[in-house]
Amino acid sequence: MVMAAFYESSNRHIGTPYMDKVGKGQPLTVCNGLTGKDVIAGKWYSPAECFRLEKKRYVQYEQTAKRSLTYWGSYNPFQQATFYDFLHNKGDGNFQTSTMRRDANAGNWVKACRENVRWNKGTVHGVSTVLPGLKIRGDANAEVCEWGLSWRG
């Protein structure tokens, strides 16, 4: 949860839902990047409520990651956090078909970590565009994911 909060909003609380204008479908977003049926327009979410909703999601991401990644028990918390972040922001479907997952399951952990930098685009006015926030996230995830792995090279 701490890593999730760090990635999403630099640990600031966002209690009022807002429309993510560059998110796919321009979803209502609240807390540390939550979207979906739990987000109700006009409702204010307390830090405790955000934590409860986020925890529920991240428990689901952990279950998905454990089921999907052969070497899950070998990853340190930083690698695990980058997989959670991928699942949170790109979705299970994209994760299941990703080169990141394929490389991780092949034991190519550094290569899997470096896949994070590829996921930096969004659609702006119908054109696939590198988005600064996604670039920062991808670069940071790749770096954090490699902590403790560079010796495997």
Give me the domains of the chain, ranges plus CATH numbers: 2-152 (1.10.530.40)
Q: Encode pLDDT of 32-78 as tens digits.
A: 888 889 899 999 999 999 999 999 999 999 999 999 999 999 999 99
Nearest C-alpha neighbor of 22 from the set 33, 37, 11, 14: 33
Confidence of residue 21 (pLDDT cuts 50, 70, 90): confident
Q: What percent of the chain has pLDDT over 70?
A: 88
pTM for this structure? 0.81
Determine the average pLDDT of the residues in 5-15: 62
3-state secondary structure at position 137: helix
Q: In the prediction, which pLDDT does 150 show?
A: 53
**CA dist., res. 5 & res. 138, Å (int):** 16
- Measured CA to CA in angstroms, residue 27 lies from 66, 70, 77, 143 at distances of 28, 32, 29, 28
The answer to whether 134 and 90 have CB atoms below 8 angstroms apart is: no
Residue 130 reports pLDDT greater than 80: yes
Strands annotated E in 1-153 = 18-19, 28-29, 121-124, 127-130
Any idea which of 15-24, 93-102, 121-130 has the lowest mean pLDDT? 15-24
